[in-house]
A and B are shown apart, each in its own frame.
Chain A
Amino acid sequence: MFSKDFMLSAIIYLLAGVIFGIGLSISGMNDTSIVKGFLDITGEWNYSLAFVMATAIVITTVGYRYLFSKDKPLLASEFNLPKRSEIDKPLVIGSIIFGIGWGLYGFCPGPALASLASLSPYSLAFVISMAAGMFMSKFLKI
């Protein structure tokens, strides 16, 4: 029914998702109060998010350096990397809008999606609205 290629990629994506999900939960990033605690520099600053990001960046930077020295990824014909390099208006405006939403509720996309598993109706509302926002962005030219 499914091709061998699909089964393999499904397993790899599932595993990558599970590892990412454990990473989010173990580091406290699924907890909106911890994330807001990081963004609240006027209170008792919770810097764990900075620590999570810093560790992830170190691992990924070293790993990418090694991977990019190869011609291509193992199961695809080429590395699919963003080609834009200029800092344009959509980048700045989009990041501002994302920052407002993130600060308001304490969810960025990863934790919001992971927390669907908590069966919280508020997580579900957030994710449905996030999907709507993504589709809406197609119709608005910035």
Chain B
Amino acid sequence: MLNAAFGGLLIGSSALMLMFFYGRIAGISDLFYSGLNTMNARKHGTESIIFIFGLMLGSSLYYFIANETFPLPEASFPLAIIAGFLVGFGTRIGRGCTSGHGVCGISRLSLRSLTATIIFIIVGMLTVGIVKHVL
């Protein structure tokens, strides 16, 4: 659990950095979408891609130093494609994901973000439950 707490501390610190320098919410779905629209200079499109690259670099760095292998997701293209689509579609419609709503939104005491977070956690639990016990 110490690793979980330390990881949370780092994620929170990263969110504070973007707010301190640029007044920006560290929502990954928003950063990725801004990155996809690199023409959008106002939302730091190019910098957002650099942030995503940093995510990969930071994670790789950790596994390299800890001498662990990068955890791999389930080897199913249909599942990856369906789930990926739902995650992309849902986070745009709902205006945020685990980081934007779950961490940053709740931290600014937004009732919208708290509601979103409760919904996607409960629905995520139901989905896992249904896949495991019904299907």
Which one, A120, A128, A131, A140, contacts B73 given CB within 8 A? A120
Which one, A32, A48, A74, A133, contacts B21 given CB within 8 A? A74
Which of chain B's residues has its CB closest to A20's CB?
A: B14
A117 touches B85 (CB 8 A): no
Encoded as 1 (CB less than 8 Å from any A CB) or 0, chain B from 61 to 80 comes to 11100100011111111011
Which one, A16, A85, A99, contacts B121 given CB within 8 A? A99
Chain B: minimal CB distance from A20 (Å): 4
A107 touches B84 (CB 8 A): yes
Contacts of A105 in B (CB 8 A): 73-74, 79-80, 83-84, 87
- Classify chain B's interface size: 35 or more
Known: A79-B23, A109-B28. A118 touches B122 (CB 8 A): no
Which of chain B's residues has its CB closest to A133's CB?
A: B88
Asked if A42 CB lies within 8 Å of chain B CBs, one says: yes
B4 touches A80 (CB 8 A): no
Contacts of A41 in B (CB 8 A): 125, 129
| Count of chain A residues near B, Cβ 8 A | 111
- Tell me if A's interface is mostly helix, strand, loop or mixed: helix
Which one, A13, A36, A64, contacts B47 given CB within 8 A? A13
Most chain B beta-carbon neighbours within 10 Å: one of A36, A95, A105, A137: A95
- What are some 23 contacts across the A-B interface (CB < 8 A)? A13-B48, A17-B50, A19-B11, A24-B58, A28-B7, A30-B70, A42-B132, A63-B12, A74-B20, A76-B22, A78-B23, A80-B24, A96-B119, A98-B86, A98-B90, A99-B121, A99-B126, A105-B74, A113-B32, A117-B59, A120-B70, A130-B88, A133-B87
Residues of A within 8 A of B (CB): 6, 9-10, 12-34, 36, 39-43, 48-49, 51-61, 63-64, 67-68, 72-76, 78-82, 84-87, 90-110, 112-118, 120-123, 125-138, 140, 142
Residues of B within 8 A of A (CB): 1, 3-26, 28-29, 32-33, 36, 44, 46-48, 50-63, 66, 70-77, 79-95, 97-99, 101-112, 115-117, 119-129, 131-133
